[in-house]
């Protein structure tokens, strides 16, 4: 799951939890929204953790020294 999908899931979950005031039989939209926000947050943390380990942030530094003869 990418960062964009995670943010989308968090946004949809927030809309379902906080913005909608609809009652339905059998499905609690507040619970579905909270589940989507939690899954989106876990996906976001996993994506950041995985993508940060792929390098590009300095990593190992190789220093070469020249010896004079």
Whether 37 is covered by a domain: the verdict is yes
No. of H helices and E strands in the chain? 2, 0
Cut 0.85: pTM above it: no
Domain housing 48: 3-20+28-52
What's the total number of domains in the chain?
1
Percent of the chain topping pLDDT 70: 88
Q: In the prediction, which pLDDT does 54 show?
A: 66
Whether 16 is covered by a domain: the verdict is yes
Which of 19, 49, 45 minimizes the C-alpha distance to 33? 19
Mean pLDDT value across the chain = 86
Q: What is the mean pLDDT of residues 19-25?
A: 85
Whether 11 is covered by a domain: the verdict is yes
């Amino acid at each position: 799951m990418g960062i964009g999908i995670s943010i989308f899931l968090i946004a949809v979950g927030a809309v379902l939890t906080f913005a909608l005031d609809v009652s339905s039989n059998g499905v609690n939209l507040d619970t579905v929204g909270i589940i989507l926000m939690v899954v989106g947050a876990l996906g976001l943390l996993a994506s950041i953790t995985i993508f940060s380990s792929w390098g590009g942030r300095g990593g190992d530094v190789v220093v070469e020294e020249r010896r004079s003869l």
